[in-house]
Amino acid sequence: MFKKYDPLKGKIVRIIDDNGKLLKGEELPEIDNEIWVKAMEKMLFARQADLMAVSFQRQGRMFTYPPNLGQEAIATAVGMVNKEEDWFVPAFRELAGWLAKGAQLHEVFLYFKGDEKGSKFVNAPHLLPSSVPIASQLLHAAGIGYSLKYNKKPGVVYGFVGDGGTSEGDFHEALNFAGVWKAPVIFIVQNNQFAISVPRQKQSAAESLAAKGIGYGIPALHVDGNDIMAMYKAVKFAREYAEAGNGPVLIEAETFRMGAHTTSDDPTRYRTAEMEEEWSKKDPVKRLRQYLVSQKLWDEAHEEKLVEEYKEKVEFEFKKAEELYKIELNEIFDYTFEELPPHLLKQKVEYENYLHWKEGRK
Amino acid sequence: MFKKYDPLKGKIVRIIDDNGKLLKGEELPEIDNEIWVKAMEKMLFARQADLMAVSFQRQGRMFTYPPNLGQEAIATAVGMVNKEEDWFVPAFRELAGWLAKGAQLHEVFLYFKGDEKGSKFVNAPHLLPSSVPIASQLLHAAGIGYSLKYNKKPGVVYGFVGDGGTSEGDFHEALNFAGVWKAPVIFIVQNNQFAISVPRQKQSAAESLAAKGIGYGIPALHVDGNDIMAMYKAVKFAREYAEAGNGPVLIEAETFRMGAHTTSDDPTRYRTAEMEEEWSKKDPVKRLRQYLVSQKLWDEAHEEKLVEEYKEKVEFEFKKAEELYKIELNEIFDYTFEELPPHLLKQKVEYENYLHWKEGRK
Amino acid sequence: MKVMNMVQAINDAMDLMLKEHPEVVMYGEDAGVEGGVFRVTEGLQQKYGAERVFDSPLAESGIVGTALGMAITGMRPVVELQFDGFTYPAFNQIVSHVSRFRNRTRGKFAVPMVIRFPYGGGINALEHHSERPEAYYAHTPGLKVVIPSTPYDAKGLLISAIESNDPVIFMEPKKIYRAIKQEVPEEKYSIPIGKAMVVSPGTDITVVTYGAMVREVQRAMVMAKKEGISVELIDLRTISPIDRDTIRESVAKTGRILVVTEAQRSFSAASELMAITVEENFLNLEAPPTRLGGFDTIIPLPVGENFYRVEPEQIYYNIQKLVKY
Amino acid sequence: MKVMNMVQAINDAMDLMLKEHPEVVMYGEDAGVEGGVFRVTEGLQQKYGAERVFDSPLAESGIVGTALGMAITGMRPVVELQFDGFTYPAFNQIVSHVSRFRNRTRGKFAVPMVIRFPYGGGINALEHHSERPEAYYAHTPGLKVVIPSTPYDAKGLLISAIESNDPVIFMEPKKIYRAIKQEVPEEKYSIPIGKAMVVSPGTDITVVTYGAMVREVQRAMVMAKKEGISVELIDLRTISPIDRDTIRESVAKTGRILVVTEAQRSFSAASELMAITVEENFLNLEAPPTRLGGFDTIIPLPVGENFYRVEPEQIYYNIQKLVKY
Ligand SMILES: Cc1ncc(C[n+]2csc(CCOP(=O)(O)OP(=O)(O)O)c2C)c(N)n1
Ligand SMILES: Cc1ncc(C[n+]2csc(CCOP(=O)(O)OP(=O)(O)O)c2C)c(N)n1
Ligand SMILES: [Mg+2]
Ligand SMILES: [Mg+2]
C-alpha cells in the first residue's frame, strides 16, 4: 500500500468520489456493507452531538467548544479499526473517536463546560483526555507505544494532531522517538486546511504533511480524510503494519473544518465562502450517504428518524452533564498529589476559615 | 545540482576519492588551484590549534574543549565561500569557520577557558558565539535570515548543527520557519556519526539526515564532508541558490569526529578501533594533501615548516588568552541589562562590603 | 483624548511604534490576518503590510528563537504568544538565550525584543489558558517582566518595552482586556519600567498587587473604608526588577503589608515581596507580612475557578485581620 | 556497609529498583552504553539489558514526554537529563503535563516518574552546565522537588522518588558527586520526601540550606564555633513541598534564620523560606530573616564563578552579623 500510494509521488488514497461512487482502479474494503451503515450512524450521531454542542454553547450553557463538522470520517474510521487493547491519544477534535473508544457524551460536555470530571472517561481506560498544548500529546503516544512493546502487550496507539500541530517541536520529537523505537503508533494528522486562521501553506513549505514521514524513516499515507472508505483502508493497513512490529505510520488525512475553529472564532475573517462551498461538496457524511443510498441501504426517512432519536439522546446526555456540573473544595486539592501534603492542607483550612467568616457576615 | 545529487535517491556529493584523486564523472570546481593551497593552509592551522587546545586542556590550562579533528574540511569550505555580509551561526565544533569569519584564536581559547570575553569576537561582527543548548541556534539563524530579507541586505546565514542536534524540536522549527519564510539560510548538519556516545542510527530512523529537508520543502544535499572540494561545491551552490531568493538549503556533511567528544570524553567506551581506522583513511587533510602533492603544489618539507610556524602562532595566541583571562566584579553585573538596576547595585555593594570585611580579617 | 480599553491601548502603542520605528515587526500565531485571537493586533497588518505584521507557524520556540535572531541584527521584534500557558514551549529560548545574549557576548549583541501574551485567569477558559507564569520569568536574570493594570499603563509601558534595549516579558491581564475603559492620550508617552505606582495613599496597611488584581483590591478597599481602614494601594507594574523603594517607603509608614497575586503562592512573586519586606522593613513591622494568592494546586477549570480566584471579600478579610493583629 | 560516593549511591539505588520493579526503565542521552556523562547509570544496561536502560535521541522534551506516556500505562520511568540547563527544552512537558496528569484526569492516570539531572555549579563547566533551576520546578504545583546532600540521603531519597506515585524532580549536586564518601547500606532503605533534617542542633541561629551548600555551611560553622556561636543546621532535602514544621520549630528556638542557596536569590527558594519564616515565626524573630545566594545576574563562566559562588567565609560573615543584630 505504501508503494501504490507513495505520497512523495503525489498519490492520495481515495476510494469513493465526492458523490459516493467507487473510483476507477480502486476496490472497496472487503467488509460487510452493514458495517458502512453502522459507520454512517456513528458519524451522524457524532455530528448531531457536535451541532448541538455548538448551540448549547450559544445558549451560554457551555464554554468554548471546537466543532468537528466535516471531519467526522477520520475519527469514525479509526473507531471502526480500533480494538479494545488500542490506545487513543486525542488532540481535541476527534469526538467520534472518543465515543467509539468508550467516552460517554456527558463526560465530553462536562469537559467543555470546564469540569475536570469530564476528562476521566470512566468507561474508557485506554482513552487519554484532550491535550490542549498543541502536539505535546504525540510524545505521550510514542511513550505508550514503547510501553506496549516493552510489556509485550498487543495493540497500537492512535496519536492525533492537526495540520498546525505539525509545526511544533514535539511533533518532530514524537515521530523521531517512535521511529527509532519502532513503536506501534499511528500518527494521524487531521489536515483541515487551517490552524485557527492560518492556512496550511503558511504552516510549512512542505508539499504535503505526509512527506514529513521520511525524515523519521516512517512510511506515510496521504489520505482523503473525507472518504471514510479510504480512511478505513489506510488505518486498517497501518494498524496491521504497526502491530506486526514494523514501527509507526504517519497518515495525513486531508479534510476541512466546516465550522469555526471554536465557538469563539469567526471564520469569515480568514476564508472565503467559495472555499467553504467547494469543501461542502466533499462532506464525508454526504459522500457515505450517497454510497449507501446507491446500495439501497439507506433512505431519507430512516435518517430523519435516527436524527430525532439522536437529538433526544444528546439532550439527555447534556442534561446529565448539567446535573453533574459542580465541584467541592476538596476536589481542587485532592488530585495534585496522591496524598494531600501539609502545605496544601494548611491552605485549604485557611480558605475554609475565610468561607466561614464570610458566611458569618451575611 | 539538487537533481544530480538527489539524497532521496541515495546520491552523495563527492569529487575526490580517499586518496585525493578526481572521481570519474565529476569535475573540479572551477577555481584556481592556488585556492586549494590556501584552503590546505587554513585546515592545517585549524588542526594545529585544535590539537594544541587538547594538550593545553590536558595540562590543566583550559577547561572542556570539543576537538574538531577530522571535521575541518566542512567549516573550511564554508569559510572559503563566505562573504563578509554573511552570518555565521555556530554550534560549537567549527573552529576553522570561526577563524575564517574573523574570530581571533585567543578569543576562542578564552571562551574555552571559561571567560565571556571569548564570545565577543571583536573583529567579527557577523559571528555568533558558540551555542551550547543543542540546535537552539538554528532558530537564531532563521531569524537572521528573515532580518536580511526584511532589510533587503545581501548575504546568507550559515547555521550549524550536529547529527544529534537534528533530533531536537528546535531543529524542526528552525527549518520549518526558514522554509516558510524562504529565508536565505544554509543549514549545515555536521554528521560526525556520534552525539557523544550515541551513534547516528540510534538518533533517527531516517535513511539520511538530508532526507529531512523534504519535510520543510527545503532542497537538500548529502555531501562527503571530508572532501573539501565537494563541500566547497555544495556550499557555493547553496549560497547562490539562497541569495537569489530561493530559500534555505539543507546540507548533510558526512564526516567523523576523530577525537573525543570533548576533553572529558573517552570514545573507547562506545566505538571500535576499526571504525576509527576506517575513517582515518578519509581524513580530509590527508585527502587534500594528496591532491595537492599530485598537482606538485605541496610537499612534506613545506608542510613541516608551516606547522612549525603555526605552532608558534598558536602558542602566542594561547599566551595572550592567559594574559587576558581575568575578571572584575563589575563585569559580572554590567551585562545583565543595559543599565544596572537598583537591586543588582545593592547586591554588588553588599558583596563588596563582605569582601572588605574579609580583607580586614586577614 | 480617546476612551480606550486595554486591547485598544495596546494596539495603539503598537501602531505608534510600527509607525516610528521601521525596525519593529510583529508576529505570532494568528497575529497577522486575523489580528490575534483577542484582536490585539487587529488592523496592523492591513496598515503596515505582511512583512511587518504576520502569522507565524504554530511553534512558540520558533517564534521566540527567530525573534532573537532578528533582535541581534538590529530589528525590534514584538512577538505574541497566544496564551500564558503556551509560553512554556519557548521556555528554553527565553531562559537560555533571550535573557543571556547580551551578557554572553559582553554587550556585543543586545536583544531589544518584547514577548507579549494574554495573562491570568477569570475568563472561563480551557486548561492552560489561565496561567500565571510571572514567577518563572521574574526568577530569570536578564528579563524585565511587566504586567499593566489599566489601558493607560498598558500603552505607556508597552512603548517603554518596545524601546527598551533589553528583552521584556509583557503580560496582559486578559480578564480586564475590555473591562476597563479610560481616557488615553493618542500621542506617544511612556511609563518607566521598574517603577511601581502608589495608586492611592493610605496609612494603616500597604497592599501590593498588580494586573487584574488591582481592581479587586480596590473593591476590597471600599469595604475597608466603611470600617475606617486606610489602605495604601501599590500597583507594582513591573514584577522584575521590583521597585523596592516604593514598597519600603510605604511599609515604613503603614507597618503592615498584604501581597495579593493571582498566581499560586509558593516560590512566587508574593514570596519575593515578603522577603523584600523583611529585608527592608524588619523594624517597622507591626504585623506579619502576609500573602494572598492562588492555592498551590493545579489551576482548576472554570467549575472550580470560584474557589481558586482571590475575591474582594477575601482581600478585605485579610486586610482587617492584619489591621487588628 | 560499603563506602560510597554519591554517584555510586545513586547507581546503587537504581540497581535495586531495576531489580525489584520490572516496570522501572531508565533512559536519557548517553545513559545506556556509556552510563551517562557522569557515569551515574554505569553498568546498568549491561546488567538489565537495552530494553530497560538505554540511550535516547537528543531531545529533552521527547525524553520527558515519552516517559509520561510510559508512566500512565503502568511503568516507572526514571529519565536522566544531561545537565540542569538542558531541562528547559522539556519545560512544557514537565509543567503542562507531568505535573498535571493526575489532577486533569481526577486520579485516573498517575504519573510515577522521576526526572534526574546533575545540578548546580562548581565544576568549572561551560555555560548552561551550572544552573540552579529548583525554583522553577518548586513553583510548579504537582511536582516534588528533591536535592540530596550526601550519598546516604541520595540513595534513600531516590528510592522514595522511584517508588512515589507522584512525579519527582531529582536534582543531583554535581559538585559533590564524588567529593563526599560515606558508609551506605547495600540493602534497600528509604528517606521520606517532604521531611527536612536537622543536621546539627544549635541555639543561636538557624541556617537552612540544601545540596552542595550543606558542606559549605558546615565549613562556616567551624568558624562560628570558634567565636562561640551555636548554629542549628537544617538540610531541607526536599525543596517542595517544604517541611514547614522543622523550620518553625528551629526558628522558634533560635529566633534567627539564614537561608543559603546556590541559586540566584530573587523569586527563589530562599524567598519562599523567608516568607514561610515570617508566616510561622513572626513573633519569635530577633533579627531579620536573611538570604544568601547567587546574584541575580547571569551565572558567570568559570572565570567569574569565584565571585558568584557563596563561600564558607561569606556564610560566616552573615551568621555573625545576624547573631550580633
Ligand atoms: C502550544 C500551543 N500553542 C497555541 C495554542 C492555541 N491554539 C489552540 S488550537 C490552535 C490551532 C491548532 O491548529 P491545528 O493543529 O491545525 O488543529 P485544528 O484546530 O485545525 O484542528 C492554536 C494555535 C495551543 N493550544 N497550544
Ligand atoms: C539541549 C542540550 N541537551 C544536551 C546537551 C549536552 N550535549 C552536549 S554536546 C551533545 C552531543 C551533540 O551531538 P551532535 O549534535 O551530534 O554534535 P557533535 O558533538 O557530534 O558535534 C550533548 C548531548 C546540550 N548541550 N544541549
Ligand atoms: Mg487545522
Ligand atoms: Mg555528532
Decide if D142 contacts D103 (C-beta within 8 A): yes
Tell me which residue in B331, B348, B357 faces D304 most closely, judged by beta carbons. B331
User: Residue A271: how many CB atoms within 10 A of its CB?
Assistant: 17
pLDDT tens-digit readout, A144-169: 999 999 999 999 999 999 999 999 99
For residue B194 and ligand 2, the question of a CB distance below 6 A is answered with yes
Which residue of chain D is at minimal alpha-carbon distance from B326? Answer: D303
Do A222 and A333 sit in the same domain of this protein? no
Do A81 and A45 sit in the same domain of this protein? yes
Quote the pLDDT of residue B362.
Answer: 82
**Nearest Cα to Cα of residue B114 among D16, D129, C294:** D129
Do A51 and A167 sit in the same domain of this protein? yes
**Nearest Cα to Cα of residue B228 among B55, B47, B10:** B47
Distance in Å, CA D29 to ligand 2 centroid: 9
For residue B169 and ligand 2, the question of a CB distance below 6 A is answered with no
Indicate the top mutation candidate among B69, B74, B93, B134 to test ligand 2's pocket, ranked by most ligand atoms within 8 A of CB: B134
% chain B with pLDDT above 90? 99
Most A CBs within 10 Å: which of D48, D60, D68, D73, as the mutation test of the A interface?
D73
Which residue of chain A is at minimal alpha-carbon distance from C300? Answer: A332
DSSP annotation of A122 = T
Do A178 and A125 sit in the same domain of this protein? yes
Supply the DSSP string of D227-264, one letter for each residue: TT--EEEEE--EEES--HHHHHHHHHHHS-EEEEEEEE
Query: Residue A362 — pLDDT band, cuts 50, 70, 90?
Result: confident
Quote the pLDDT of residue A115.
Answer: 98
DSSP annotation of B54 = H
Bond into B66 cis (ω within 30): no
Pick the CATH number of D197-323 from 3.40.50.920, 3.40.1410.10, 3.40.640.10, 3.20.20.80: 3.40.50.920
| Cα A75 from Cα C194, distance rounded (Å) | 51
Do A130 and A51 sit in the same domain of this protein? yes
Q: Does C105 touch chain A (CB under 8 A)?
A: no
| Cα B35 from Cα B77, distance rounded (Å) | 11
For residue B195 and ligand 2, the question of a CB distance below 6 A is answered with yes
Which residue of chain A is at minimal alpha-carbon distance from D144? Answer: A337
Query: Which residues of B have a catalytic role annotated?
Result: 257, 261, 270
C-alpha cell at position D280 = 510561622
What mean pLDDT comes out for the span C104-132? 97
Decide if B68 contacts B96 (C-beta within 8 A): yes
Residue A47, classed as helix, strand or coil, is: helix
% chain B with pLDDT above 70? 100
What mean pLDDT comes out for the span A66-85? 98
Q: Which residues of C touch B117 (CB under 8 A)?
A: 106
Is 90 exceeded by the pLDDT of residue C292? yes
CB contact under 8 A, C139 and D274: no
| Cα A353 from Cα A355, distance rounded (Å) | 5
| Cα D35 from Cα D42, distance rounded (Å) | 4
CA A168 to ligand 1: nearest atom = 1
Quote the pLDDT of residue B79.
Answer: 98
Q: Which chains touch D (3 or more CB pairs under 8 A)?
A: A, B, C
pLDDT tens-digit readout, A277-331: 999 999 999 999 999 999 999 999 999 999 999 999 999 999 999 999 999 999 9
Q: Does A356 touch chain C (CB under 8 A)?
A: no
Is 90 exceeded by the pLDDT of residue A342? yes
Count of CB pairs separated by less than 8 Å, A with B:
81
Run of H or E including A48: helix A33-58
Range of the domain at B335: 329-360
Do A79 and A223 sit in the same domain of this protein? yes
CB contact under 8 A, D51 and A143: no
CATH topology of domain C2-184: Rossmann fold (3.40.50)
Whether residue B1 is contained in a domain is answered as no
Q: Does C275 touch chain A (CB under 8 A)?
A: no
Which residue of chain D is at minimal alpha-carbon distance from B269? Answer: D34
Enter the pTM of the model: 0.99
Whether residue A187 is contained in a domain is answered as yes
User: Residue A338: how many CB atoms within 10 A of its CB?
Assistant: 14
Distance in Å, CA A223 to ligand 1 centroid: 21
Do A243 and A351 sit in the same domain of this protein? no
Distance in Å, CA A278 to ligand 2 centroid: 48
CA distance C27 to chain D (A): 21
Decide if B48 contacts B314 (C-beta within 8 A): yes
Tell me which residue in C65, C74, C77 faces B140 most closely, judged by beta carbons. C65
Quote the pLDDT of residue B332.
Answer: 97
CB contact under 8 A, C141 and D92: no
Is residue A61 among the annotated active site residues?
Answer: no
Whether residue B2 is contained in a domain is answered as no
Tell me which residue in B173, B204, B207 faces A176 most closely, judged by beta carbons. B204
pLDDT tens-digit readout, C218-258: 999 999 999 999 999 999 999 999 999 999 999 999 999 99
Distance of CA C246 to the CA centre of its chain: 18
Distance in Å, CA B292 to ligand 3 centroid: 56
CB contact under 8 A, C125 and A325: no
pLDDT tens-digit readout, C146-195: 999 999 999 999 999 999 999 999 999 999 999 999 999 999 999 999 99
CATH number of A144's domain: 3.40.50.970
Supply the DSSP string of D258-292, one letter for each residue: EEEEEEESTTSHHHHHHHHHHHHHGGG-SS--EEE
Do A176 and A83 sit in the same domain of this protein? yes
Whether residue A67 is contained in a domain is answered as yes
For residue B192 and ligand 2, the question of a CB distance below 6 A is answered with yes
For residue B133 and ligand 2, the question of a CB distance below 6 A is answered with yes
Decide if D5 contacts D13 (C-beta within 8 A): no
Give the strand order in the sheet containing A249-254. Answer: A87-89, A157-162, A185-191, A249-254, A220-224
- Per-chain mean pLDDT for chain B: 97
| Cα B117 from Cα B127, distance rounded (Å) | 14
Q: Which residues of B touch A8 (CB under 8 A)?
A: 8, 214
Do B219 and B296 sit in the same domain of this protein? yes
Most D CBs within 10 Å: which of A337, A338, A349, A350, as the mutation test of the D interface?
A337
CA distance D22 to chain A (A): 10
C-alpha cell at position C48 = 503596515
Is 90 exceeded by the pLDDT of residue B4? yes
Decide if C114 contacts C157 (C-beta within 8 A): no
CB contact under 8 A, D34 and B343: no
Q: Whose CA is nearest to atom 17 of ligand 2?
A: B162
Distance in Å, CA B64 to ligand 2 centroid: 13
Specify the number of domains making up chain B: 2
pLDDT tens-digit readout, C206-221: 999 999 999 999 999 9
| Cα B269 from Cα B260, distance rounded (Å) | 11
Bond into C185 cis (ω within 30): no
CB contact under 8 A, C74 and B139: no
Do B259 and B165 sit in the same domain of this protein? yes
What mean pLDDT comes out for the span C49-61? 98
Do A346 and A278 sit in the same domain of this protein? no
Q: Does A202 touch chain C (CB under 8 A)?
A: yes
CB contact under 8 A, C59 and A336: no
Q: Whose CA is nearest to atom 19 of ligand 2?
A: B195
Please provide the distance, in angstroms rounded to a whole number, between the alpha carbons at the two ends of chain C. Answer: 45
Residue A121 zone, left/alpha/beta (φ > 0; ψ -120 to 50; rest): left
Any alpha helices (H) in chain C, and if so which ranges? 6-20, 44-48, 60-71, 91-93, 101-104, 134-138, 151-163, 213-226, 244-254, 269-281, 302-308, 312-324
Helix, strand, coil percentages in chain B from 3-state DSSP, rounded to 5? 55, 10, 35
Is residue A222 among the annotated active site residues?
Answer: no
pLDDT tens-digit readout, A3-54: 999 999 999 999 999 999 999 999 999 999 999 999 999 999 999 999 999 9
- Give residue limits of the domains in chain C: 2-184, 197-323
Do B306 and B350 sit in the same domain of this protein? no
